[in-house]
Amino acid sequence: MSDVTTEDYSTASAPVWVGLLPWQHDAARAALRHRARWPHALLLTGREGIGKRTFALELARSLLCEDGAGDGFACGVCASCRYVQAGQHPDLRVVEPVEVDDDNVATPSLWITIAHVRALIDWAQLTSHRHVAKVAVIAPAERMNVAAANALLKTLEEPPPGTYLILVAHQPGRLPATVRSRCQWLAAPVPDEAVAREWLVGQGVDQPANVLAQAQGAPLAALRLANADYQAERTAWLDALASPPTLDPIDLAARIDRAPRDLRKALLGAAIDWLAAWCADLASTQAGGAAFQNRDYAAALRPLATVVAPLPLFRYHRVLLQERAQIAHPLQPRLVAEALLFQYQKLFG
């Protein structure tokens, strides 16, 4: 599975609780209407970067609230609500792929392991502190490895009374069928473009339309991309792709080795994403459509689209997707990028 995303390359920091995002109110209201019959295991699905985790935490806060109004929403003022807001509610547990070292410092890891799940099960057996409910959020649930998913099955099927599990998944198809079938599914809300742009402006993003296009409409992903280092790197790569005759694959790929060592694999992942989006936009432009992800390069894409042959472009795009899926452990990120860039150049004769 592909383990590196642009999320890793751009700096990401997720606060524990931020409340509902503007496009989530209606969906929360609809879901919480059924609070009295809340499923023990909920699978919250949707594309990366639309705020599923935030949504899950708000549902959790509502389930834990000691004084909810009739609409099921969290009151925001009771002790439970305040504990959730402070990230300190003992009856709320968030399970994420992180490793904690001896000094209690957490770093992101690839998998949610059986150790994570065993700790979760132990926690689920404890008596609730606030005597309202207990909620565990597992995000992203598809990062559970096979052993972890198997260990969770029994709890998923029959959690201790008053215990609710919320699994968050970008790609629910990667979860074992045994896990999927034990959950009730809920699709997380997706904002329309105007709402997403307005939210990004509120977060201090100057050119919301460009980053939103790059993130294919996912606002939280767009916010992560809206950092100067990421955009400068993208510009360097796309400017080079825009001019195949003068493109120097060795020189461009060498940028990977100039990046800090721990970012090289992620930069390769980002570069392959840029190439794939670029090729998708070439194909779209060729078909008389618009550039979806690289709107800021629409003018540069047009002349290239008239030169490139559709079938080789399609094959190359498929190679990029295969390479992206196998990126977990490239020995030489620079060499992988070089080879892909030489192939790109050949598309233009």
Helix ranges restricted to H, 226-308 = 228-241, 249-258, 264-286, 298-307
**Smallest separation, CB 76 to Zn ion (Å):** 6
The CA-atom distances, in angstroms, between 236 and each of 165, 232, 272, 274, 320 are: 44, 6, 14, 11, 19
Q: Does 60 bind Zn ion (CB under 5 A)?
A: no
Stretch that binds Zn ion, among 29-37, 75-83, 102-110, 335-343 (CB under 5 A): 75-83
Find the Cα–Cα–Cα–Cα dihedral 254, 259, 263, 265, rounded to 10°: 10
| DSSP sequence for 63-124 | HH-SS--TT----SSSHHHHHHHTT--TTEEEE-SEEE-TT--EEE-S-B-HHHHHHHHHHH
**Smallest separation, CB 78 to Zn ion (Å):** 3
Helical pair 264-286 and 310-325, crossing angle rounded to 10 deg: 150
**Smallest separation, CB 89 to Zn ion (Å):** 11
Pick the closer one to Zn ion by CB: 12 or 78.
Answer: 78
Q: Does 168 bind Zn ion (CB under 5 A)?
A: no
Instruction: Return the residue of 14, 16, 78, 190 that touches Zn ion, per CB under 5 A.
Output: 78
Stretch that binds Zn ion, among 57-65, 153-161, 181-189, 250-258 (CB under 5 A): 57-65
**Smallest separation, CB 95 to Zn ion (Å):** 23
Pick the closer one to Zn ion by CB: 81 or 304.
Answer: 81
Give the count of residues interacting with Zn ion (CB under 5 A).
Answer: 6
Q: Are the C-beta atoms of residues 348 and 304 closer than 8 Å to each other?
A: yes
Pick the closer one to Zn ion by CB: 78 or 247.
Answer: 78
- Provide the 3-class DSSP secondary structure of residue 182: coil
Peptide bond into 39 cis (omega under 30): no
Pick the closer one to Zn ion by CB: 78 or 242.
Answer: 78
As a whole number of angstroms, the longest Cα–Cα distance in the chain is 70
The sheet that has 163-169: what strands, in order across it?
92-95, 134-138, 163-169, 41-45, 184-187
Instruction: Return the residue of 14, 16, 75, 121 that touches Zn ion, per CB under 5 A.
Output: 75
Pick the closer one to Zn ion by CB: 75 or 209.
Answer: 75
- Provide the 3-class DSSP secondary structure of residue 133: coil
Cα 104 → chain centroid = 25
Stretch that binds Zn ion, among 59-67, 87-95, 114-122, 293-301 (CB under 5 A): 59-67
Stretch that binds Zn ion, among 23-31, 70-78, 100-108, 292-300 (CB under 5 A): 70-78
**Smallest separation, CB 128 to Zn ion (Å):** 15
Q: Does 65 bind Zn ion (CB under 5 A)?
A: yes
Q: Does 81 bind Zn ion (CB under 5 A)?
A: yes
Cα-trace Rg, the chain: 22
**Smallest separation, CB 65 to Zn ion (Å):** 3
Pick the closer one to Zn ion by CB: 83 or 297.
Answer: 83
**Smallest separation, CB 83 to Zn ion (Å):** 10
Stretch that binds Zn ion, among 67-75, 95-103, 133-141, 275-283 (CB under 5 A): 67-75
Residue 119 makes CB contacts below 8 A (sequence gap 6+) with none
Q: Which residue has the tokens 């990230």?
A: 87
The rounded distance, in Å, linking the Cα atoms of 212 and 235 is: 16
**Smallest separation, CB 79 to Zn ion (Å):** 8
Strand partners for 197: none
Pick the closer one to Zn ion by CB: 67 or 193.
Answer: 67
Count of residues in the chain: 349
Stretch that binds Zn ion, among 73-81, 129-137, 222-230, 241-249 (CB under 5 A): 73-81
Contacting Zn ion within 307-326 (CB under 5 A): none
Residues at the interface with Zn ion (CB under 5 A)? 65, 67, 74-75, 78, 81
